[in-house]
A = this chain, B = another copy of it.
Amino acid sequence: MITNTNHSVTIDDLWELWPSLSEDERLEWFDQLSHDDAEDFFSSITCEDQSALIAAMTPHQQRQWMRILAPDDAADVLQLIDDEEMQRRLKTYLQDRVRNEVDALMAYKEDEAGGLMSPRFARIRPDMSIDEAILYIRRQIRDELETIYYIYVLDHQQHLLGVVSFEDLIKASGDKKVSDVMETDPTKVTDDMDQESVALIFAREDHFALPVVDADNVMKGIITIDDIVDVVNDEATEDFQKMGGMAALDNDYLQSSYGEMYKKRIVWLIALFCCTIFTTRVMDYYSNAIESAVILSVFVPLIMASGGNTGSQAATLITRAMALGEIRQRDVLRVFKREFIVSGCLGLTLGVIAFLVATGFYLMGTFPAGDGIYLRLCLTIAISVLILVIYGSLVGSMLPFLLRLCHVDPASASAPFVTTIVDVSSIIIYFTIAMMLLKGFL
């Protein structure tokens, strides 16, 4: 293990500094922790940080730290090492048994159940007596089980027959059989299930751990809920960033390179920018109308905003509800109805305000002269707002359904994306209404 003379740094100091440190600084500070602190700290940082640290270490240190990782963590860390040569070398540092477990785990994608699970679980046979079982478990504890909170009952072919909590075991009288006390047909996940679905199951059922089985119900490992907390956070962050109108980052904000930050953001910006070019074409199309009544162009930003804002609201609501499984594809019509009714009321409210605002402008004498143009202009603006608020919410709420139908992550229905879509149509709708109501003045 690491031996260093200078233990000036405490674990709390480092926690404070950590986010602000560069990768090299991190190792420097880490080396100054006392041996026990270093172990505590190392085991509590994310596997991203662990692999970054290890990558920066001397081979001697790498050997030490790879060996204290549990097989599932070791697999995650190795998967994050891009340099294949180093990855291979790091693997050789592991004890043989762990290496085999790691190889098995690395066969799975990082974001599916198999990639999250640990192969270290407590197992007993159904025909054991409670006392035999407890003895048998106490012997297994030596090989660092992920948890003894649940013990899994397997037949000789490792098929999952049931589960029993350690609590129930020691509650039961010692001469009973395991099969008498075990819960048959327990909640389980398959090794190829994606981590988002696994997280939803954990959120629904209050288990500390769930067994992972393959297609033949052979038990492969367990997923413990502490890994799920990270999954839930990661998935949410990914959605947040997509909904902010960008690709999801691979690292923390402060840890991402300028290059990554640029790449992840420019793609969407260019896409959005190109869509927005249409607004220019459309505006240009109506330039004659604008020429004859500049006042029309004056309200364009206001009209566009009202559609965009309600659209963003709707898109965010629906996307999140989908991510949490509150809304399924087949709810599309109910959502449409809801959004139509709600946005109708929202539109009426904003329409009235818009009417008053327009009147204000009239009173300030910014309207061109002309009999009855006042009322018609105010109506144009009010009606446009009403229609665009409804239109915006419907676009914003239906887009996530459409995206999912095309197997695109609904979270891509970001506020900027929706706003952009709505913007173009806003101008068309607005000027169309203006043309109708202001015929004769334009």
Interface residue ranges, A against B (CB under 8 Å) = 15, 19-20, 43-44, 138, 141, 145, 147-149, 166-167, 170-171, 199, 202-208, 224-226, 228-230, 232-233, 236-237, 239-241, 243-246, 249, 252-254, 258, 261-262, 265-266, 268-270, 272-274, 276-277, 279-280, 283-284, 287, 290-291, 294-295, 297-302, 304-306, 308-310, 312-313, 315-321, 324-328, 331, 334-335, 338, 341-342, 345-346, 349-350, 353-354, 357, 361, 366, 389, 414-416, 419-420, 423, 427
* CB-defined contacts of A244 to chain B, threshold 8 Å: 243, 312-313, 315-317, 415
- How close is A294's CB to chain B, nearest CB, in angstroms? 5
- How close is A146's CB to chain B, nearest CB, in angstroms? 10
Contact B254–A331 (Cβ < 8 Å):
yes
Residue of B whose beta carbon sits closest to that of A203:
B229
**What are the 6 tightest A-B residue pairs by CB atom distance, in nearest-first order?**
A244-B316, A415-B415, A279-B301, A236-B236, A253-B321, A297-B297
* CB-defined contacts of A331 to chain B, threshold 8 Å: 19-20, 254
Contact A416–B309 (Cβ < 8 Å):
yes
Name A207's contact: one of B226, B295, B318 (CB within 8 Å).
B226
* CB-defined contacts of A338 to chain B, threshold 8 Å: 253-254, 258, 261
Name A272's contact: one of B149, B207, B305 (CB within 8 Å).
B305
- Measured CA separation A181–B345 after assembly (Å): 65
9 pairs, CB–CB < 8 Å, chain A vs chain B: A244-B313, A244-B415, A269-B349, A273-B350, A274-B353, A280-B299, A283-B301, A284-B366, A290-B294
Contact A287–B298 (Cβ < 8 Å):
yes
Contact A269–B346 (Cβ < 8 Å):
yes
- Measured CA separation A334–B168 after assembly (Å): 53
* CB-defined contacts of A237 to chain B, threshold 8 Å: 320, 324
- A166-B166, A167-B141, A167-B148 given; A300·B312 CB < 8 A: no
- A262-B346, A269-B310, A361-B280 given; A301·B298 CB < 8 A: no
Contact A254–B166 (Cβ < 8 Å):
no
* CB-defined contacts of A341 to chain B, threshold 8 Å: 258
Determine how many copies of this chain the complex contains. Answer: 2
Q: A262-B342, A269-B310 are in contact. List 20 more A-B contacts (CB 8 A).
A: A19-B325, A19-B331, A141-B167, A147-B208, A166-B166, A233-B236, A241-B320, A243-B244, A253-B321, A258-B341, A265-B313, A265-B342, A268-B309, A269-B313, A273-B350, A280-B357, A284-B361, A284-B366, A300-B301, A305-B420
Q: Chain A binding site: helix, strand, loop or mixed by DSSP?
A: helix
Contact B305–A276 (Cβ < 8 Å):
yes
Contact B149–A243 (Cβ < 8 Å):
no
Give the interface centre of A237, A241, A269, A301 by most chain B CB atoms within 10 Å.
Answer: A301
